[in-house]
Amino acid sequence: MDINELSENFELLDNWEDKYRYLIDLGEKLPPFDEKYRTEDWKVSGCQSQVWLVPAFSGNGADARINFSGDSDAAIVRGLIAVVLTIFNGKSRQEILSLDVASLFGRLGLEEHLSPSRRNGLGAMVDKIRFYATQG
């Protein structure tokens, strides 16, 4: 799935209760997360729930691509992780750093329907992914 398909799926849902259920469903479809990464080293600070993000780099230099795995102890947050991974997985460092994430979240209608703490957590996830894109 890509961001366009994700956006279309959100548009098909009539209300935010349905969209929250869809988010939870997306989170349930995340691949299993390796327990060895549930440590402070991979934890995203700034999230009310526990969130872990782990990068995997393929290729070198400008051609390097990054894929992420992630997990949370909260169902809706797992869904937000799934959205974030849909946006960023397989992108180059430069693509990650240049993406207009606010615009993408706006297309999905996430910003205005999340609690302030979830919005902050979403921002913390994006910041962590951008941090990883500057490393290595």
User: How far apart are alpha carbons 12 and 134 in whole angstroms?
Assistant: 36
Long-range contacts made by residues 89-93, C-beta under 8 angstroms, separation at least 24? 90/65, 90/66, 91/65, 91/66, 92/62, 92/63, 92/64, 92/65, 92/66, 93/62, 93/64, 93/66, 93/133, 93/134
Q: Which residues are catalytic?
A: 47
Cβ(9)–Cβ(109) below 8 Å: no
HSE toward the beta carbon, residue 26, CA cutoff 13 A: 24
User: How far apart are alpha carbons 78 and 34 in whole angstroms?
Assistant: 15
